[in-house]
Amino acid sequence: MFLSALELRNIIESSFLPKRCQCTLSPDLSMTVKVFGDHQTDQVDLHVSGIDASHLNGCREINELIAGLRSDLAQQTTPQHYSPRSRAL
């Protein structure tokens, strides 16, 4: 890993603004990311643990991680839309 834990946390946490994001990195380079729904409550919209941060060796890997987390977040927070039939049969 070419970045310090503080730099990596800052990149990941700031990528989810304006939402609040908490990124923790353990000494064995296992990462946990939590994204919270709003600033008033501690409702967690996304919680991913067990991310192997030792593979985050460059900008591409970090960007791919962030894109994957954003995709997971969008799938969890997007309401399902059902369109009714336009005409009854």
Q: What is the pLDDT of residues 19-38, one digit of tens each?
A: 999 999 999 999 999 999 87
CB-neighbour burial class of residue 11 (10 A; exposed 0-12, middle 13-18, buried 19+): middle
How far is the C-alpha of 47 from the C-alpha of 43, rounded, in Å?
Answer: 11
Q: Three-state SS for 60?
A: helix
Residue 27 resides in a domain: yes
Domain extent at residue 60: 5-69
Residue 75 resides in a domain: no
pLDDT at 6: 92
List C-alpha distances in Å: 32 to 9, 12, 47, 62.
Answer: 10, 11, 7, 14
Residue 51 resides in a domain: yes
DSSP state letter for 85 = P
Q: Three-state SS for 89?
A: coil
pLDDT at 41: 76
Tell me the per-residue pLDDT of 38-81, one tens digit each, with 9 for 90 and over.
777 788 999 999 999 999 988 999 999 999 999 999 997 655 44
Number of domains into which the chain is organized: 1
